[in-house]
Amino acid sequence: MSTKSVIIDAVRSPIGTKNGQLVGIRPDDLTAQVIKGLLARNEKVKPKDIEDVVVGCAFPEGPQGMIIGRSAAILAGIPKEAGGKVVNRFCGSAMDGLHQLSTAIECGDIDVGIAAGVEDMFSIPPGGFAPDFHPELAEHEYYIGMGETAENLANDGNISREDQDEFSINSHTKALKAYADGKFDNELISIDVYGEATVEKDEGPRKSNVEKIKTLNPAFIKGGTVTAASSSPFSIGASAVLITSAEYAEKHGLTIRAEIVSRAIAGVDWTRMGAGPLPATEKALKKASLIMDDIETIELNEAFAAQSLFVIREGGWDMDKINLNGGAIALGHPLGCSGTRIIGTLINVMEQQNTHLGLATMCIGSGQGIATIIKR
């Protein structure tokens, strides 16, 4: 049995940054609010029809542990008969969850699911509470810092400090313009922080202080070119995608916003993990019998400016198709959330641009890439 998997809707919370209003909300409560908001927008899909909730999380510990996919589903009012689980593929966690659900739908295991993602990078320390490194892997730099991998790509691609600064400034500029034009309105769910605040906008985008950016010290290695300004900031956020079979959508009169065309993952050298989108994208294109020129709109997760520029230049990608509403350097990159966040943003940009084939792709710590091609 084979059927198409289709995306009915996608939403997200605002993304909070250090000392912002979202810091302090429990990740399970945050995810539950996003799922509730998703279902409230899609009343034709009854909670009893949801068969599985898959939540991506890069460090599923503490308040985002204990199978947060299950707990967030229950908090969101989804009946106990639905399943729930957590997927961890670091930065690609939520997109991997979407891949798993779409695969389950296409092989007839389920008809309706929610792929979500969350990360609170403030309550859980980088690397988790008790990282334990294997000595043999440590000798081979397997646990290299992400900023150092960006420096490696900057060196490999001869990417200058000036190029990185310009890319970062443009990310903020595009995000601010998108806000002014209302282009994020359709993907954002307001978040109630326990009655103390209502958060409606991302906290990261700002008018760039160009002179200050030029004077920032390297953030990761002495004499390097990667700075705090050219890195995605620590953040907190959640996102969710409602996915069904094409048959379920037709039967219930649902508007299909996008169809999943192909999915792919790929591995790369972990010391250059940011190159992961290149082989993952090539695999996704090959599966769909497409070439890169067929892709009209791209969401490339901006872990670092150097990483993004390396992928764009090495792949020969058209900058005018990429991250038209800004990217993670401006918005933030809550690790487990970002995969479904960029899927939702991609769909919105495709609707705004009236394009039909889109790519969402991201690099993954440990040396991987993940990619999804959709059409509308």
Nearest to 60 by CA among 131, 118, 18: 118
Q: Which helix (H) or strand (E) covers residue 373, if one does?
A: strand 368-375
Query: Per the residue annotation, which of 57, 99, 172, 333 is the catalytic one?
Result: 333
Q: Is 57 marked active-site?
A: no
**Measured distance CA(232)–CA(127) in Å, rounded:** 17
Query: Per the residue annotation, which of 57, 91, 99, 337 is the catalytic one?
Result: 91
H helix runs in 202-304, sequence order: 210-215, 246-251, 277-287
Q: Is 363 marked active-site?
A: yes
Q: Is 337 marked active-site?
A: no
**Measured distance CA(29)–CA(127) in Å, rounded:** 22
Nearest to 241 by CA among 20, 56, 23: 56
**Measured distance CA(102)–CA(337) in Å, rounded:** 18
Write the Ramachandran bin of 66: left for phi over 0, alpha for psi from -120 to 50, otherwise beta: left
Which pair of tokens denotes residue 289? 């019998």
Sign of torsion over alpha carbons 266, 268, 270, 273:
negative
**Measured distance CA(33)–CA(38) in Å, rounded:** 9
Active-site residue list: 91, 333, 363
